[in-house]
Amino acid sequence: MTSHQLPLPSQTRSFMTVALIELWERFGYYGMQALIVYYMVQRLGFDDSRANLVWSACAALIYVSPAIGGWIGDKVLGTKRSMITGAIILSIGYALMAVPTENTWFMFSALGVVVVGNGLFKPNTANLVRKIYEGDDSKIDSAFTLYYMAVNVGSTISILATPWVKDYVNATYGNELGWHAAFAVCSVGLVLGLFNLMMMRHTLRHVGSLPDVQPLNVGKLLMVLAGGLVVVAASAVILQYRDIARAFVYLAGIVVLAIFGHLIRKSEVSERAGLIAALVLTLQTVLFFIFYQQMSTSLSLFALRNVDWDFGFMGMHLWTWSPAQYQALNPIWIMCLSPLLAWLYAKAGAAKKDLSIAAKFALGFSVVAVGFFVYGIAGQFAVNGKTSSWVMIFGYGFNAFGELLVSGLGLAMVARYVPARMGGFMMGAYFVAVGISQYLGGVVANYASVPKDVVDPLQTLQIYTSLFNKLGIGAMVCTLIALACLPLMRRLTATHHSHN
């Protein structure tokens, strides 16, 4: 029996294959993210401002690169091949981070390799999920919510594991090898994910873009890899020089708006309303990720300086976390809330009572506002400049709920409103917008940048809580903006559906 006569794998099996490689990729990424700002501040001696902006610029590059990677997946290598190539390059990038050197150019180059790998991996993985459920809107929302949960399974494990590895190796060997051992764990995890993907690749044989069904063009592959080397070098320069990073991010923003404008102007009437709706929601996503970026910048440093790391209940000591491990609270909450929301979406969809994506965005911003007010108000109850660990649990809980309502449905929004022929490219454009806001989030975080000579917890507490209260107010303003857009979104969605 030939392969084309075999029964097609179920949607669930195909989805699980993609979700598992995404899980392992996020294991690597978030394991690195949990430590990178601390590494720059504590190991390399960067001040808060430089560490925040270097990581935020890197995050911007990591999210901008999928704009090219999505096009490569659609037109050059194929969606599946680009995903696999990206995963291999990412594992190399994390392995380079494990090399024990304090040379900043080497670190920036290793991060550049991560940028290239992510650019190929991220949009094509998401686009495979879209292709698996194409044409079934009711399943797309649930699928991307569960996909988002898979992301957070991987990130939870790595965020808890890599700080522990770092501390254990440092304590055992009495030196700074722990940082690099932790980065090595990120690489090993992704290698395991690649082995798993190879074992399950048959479940994706029917999914992909046109180049996937054609023989591999080695010349095109070599051109993509050569272009990747150029991107690595450019990324290192951008991370080294702050002014170049700022100019790059702002230029990327102009390009994204220009691309949206061009596509809307040139698109068919039947496609235009969907593209405008996608643009409105993408702009709201940019606002959301400014808040999201605080987790790896201002909130991360807040946990280092102004949180009591001991968890207790009614006078009993339960456990102690290192500062980096608090970032795991976000994916833990995501995992707890994702199945519930996926079930609610499916149930509401079946009853024709589901909230629109635009309404979910508005609700998401209001929940994020509550989360930041939790951090800000907690400063009033701090003891000797230290807030309770439970404050972090509740604050992260609200932020995670808001994230699921906004970021968790961002990819579903692209899948729902954007024509299939633009799928990979528009996934990339969406990630560019996210990247821009990651950098802007670092700029915002620097309003709570603590000078090196300020070590008094009472002083640092005031700096951080002032920023968090302002962010809470900002999220309330974003809620009002999202609510004001609802009538427009209803009209655009109705027009989009009438042509589909």
pLDDT of 359-393, one tens digit each?
888 888 999 999 999 999 988 888 888 998 899 99
Confidence class for position 409, pLDDT limits 50, 70, 90: low
Tokens at 161, concatenated = 């594991």
**pTM for this prediction:** 0.82
pLDDT at 448: 82
Confidence class for position 465, pLDDT limits 50, 70, 90: very high
**Tens digits of per-residue pLDDT, 181-218?**
999 999 998 898 888 888 877 777 777 667 777 888 88
What distance in Å separates the CA atoms of residue 332 and residue 321, rounded to the nearest whole number? 14
Q: Is residue 301 part of a domain?
A: yes
Identify the CA nearest to 331 among candidates 266, 396, 426, 265: 396
Confidence class for position 97, pLDDT limits 50, 70, 90: very high
What distance in Å separates the CA atoms of residue 49 and residue 61, rounded to the nearest whole number? 18
Identify the CA nearest to 496 among candidates 290, 294, 277, 307: 277
Tokens at 219, concatenated = 């010349």
Identify the CA nearest to 282 among candidates 440, 433, 458: 433
336: CATH: 1.20.1250.20
What residues contact 389, with CB distance under 8 A and at least 6 apart? 307, 308, 309, 310, 311, 321, 326
Q: Is residue 439 part of a domain?
A: yes
Q: Is residue 15 part of a domain?
A: yes
Q: What is the mean pLDDT of the chain?
A: 84
Q: Is 223 exposed, middle or buried (0-12, 13-18, 19+ CB in 10 A)?
A: middle
Q: Does residue 411 have a pLDDT over 80?
A: no
Q: Is residue 3 part of a domain?
A: no
Task: Match 């299939």 to its residue by tokens.
Answer: 420
Q: Is residue 59 part of a domain?
A: yes
Q: Does residue 494 have a pLDDT over 80?
A: no
What residues contact 321, with CB distance under 8 A and at least 6 apart? 309, 311, 389
pLDDT at 202: 73
CA atoms within 13 A on the CB side of 429: 25
pLDDT at 3: 45
pLDDT at 5: 55
Q: Is residue 384 part of a domain?
A: yes
Q: Of all residues in the chain, what percent carry a pLDDT higher than 70? A: 90
pLDDT at 152: 76
CA atoms within 13 A on the CB side of 168: 8
Mean pLDDT score, 271-282: 79
What residues contact 500, with CB distance under 8 A and at least 6 apart? 270, 274
Identify the CA nearest to 79 among candidates 122, 118, 112, 29: 122
pLDDT at 8: 63
pLDDT at 420: 67
Q: Is residue 1 part of a domain?
A: no
SS3 317: strand
What residues contact 225, with CB distance under 8 A and at least 6 apart? none
CA end-to-end span of the chain: 38
Number of structural domains in the chain: 1
Q: Is residue 22 part of a domain?
A: yes
pLDDT at 198: 84
Mean pLDDT score, 300-326: 86
Mean pLDDT score, 310-325: 83
**Tens digits of per-residue pLDDT, 11-62?**
677 777 888 888 888 899 999 999 999 999 988 889 889 999 999 999 989 8
Range of the domain at 249: 10-498
